[in-house]
Amino acid sequence: MPSAPGQFWLMKSEPGECSIDDLGHAPQQTVPWIGVRNYQARNFMRDAMRPGDGVLFYHSSCAEPGIAGLAEVAGPAYPDATQFDPASAYHDPKSDPAAPRWCHVDVRLVAKTRLLSLREMRLCPALSSMLVLKPGNRLSITPVSAAEWSAVAALLNSPAA
């Protein structure tokens, strides 16, 4: 697992919407992280994420949630066009093209990994402070500390528990 410069993030995606395999089959193995409609998650992308930041690609709302791969932030944040598209499930009629409310980043595949299950993550004491493991945390994007990133790397390099 490469150490990315800068910061680290966990980004959740429902596999039916965009899976790690979809990312691997996308042009340049890169997808726009569209549809985020939570201000805190938007602010992470807009204000804190930088190209090259490491991403734990997490499958959520599925039979076996967990980290399915590694990615990186591929570019700076820019307006999410789906907010202006009335045919999109992510349309926001209150968003103004002159002052877009929603933005996103592009995410590029680094590696598909074995699935690091939520159960296995909960068994690792080094991950006890990880936000995705906290009760009630439903954010689709959360920061990951360097220590958590290293602990995930160690788990991914070992057999499943």
pLDDT tens-digit series, residues 48-57: 999 999 999 9
Query: What's the number of CA atoms in the CB half-sphere (13 Å) around residue 101?
Result: 15
Phi-psi sector, 66: left (phi>0), alpha (psi -120 to 50), beta: left
Provide the pLDDT for residue 160: 75
Domain 8-155 coded CATH 3.10.590.10: yes
Which sequence spans correspond to the domains of the chain?
Answer: 8-155
Distance, in Å, from the CA atom of 59 to the CA atom of 71, rounded to the nearest integer, reads 13
pLDDT at residue 4 greater than cutoff 50: no
* Tens-place pLDDT, residues 75-112: 999 999 999 999 999 999 999 999 999 999 999 999 99
Q: If you average pLDDT over residues 15-27, what whole number do you get?
A: 97
Give the per-residue pLDDT at 159: 81
The pLDDT value recorded for residue 3 is 44
Residue 158's pLDDT is what?
A: 85
pLDDT for 5 equals: 56
Instruction: Output the average pLDDT for the chain.
Output: 94
Distance in angstroms (rounded) separating the CA atoms of residues 147 and 150: 5
- Strand ranges (E), the chain: 8-13, 30-32, 54-59, 66-73, 78-79, 103-104, 106-117, 141-144
Backbone angles phi, psi at 96, to 5 degrees: -105, 125
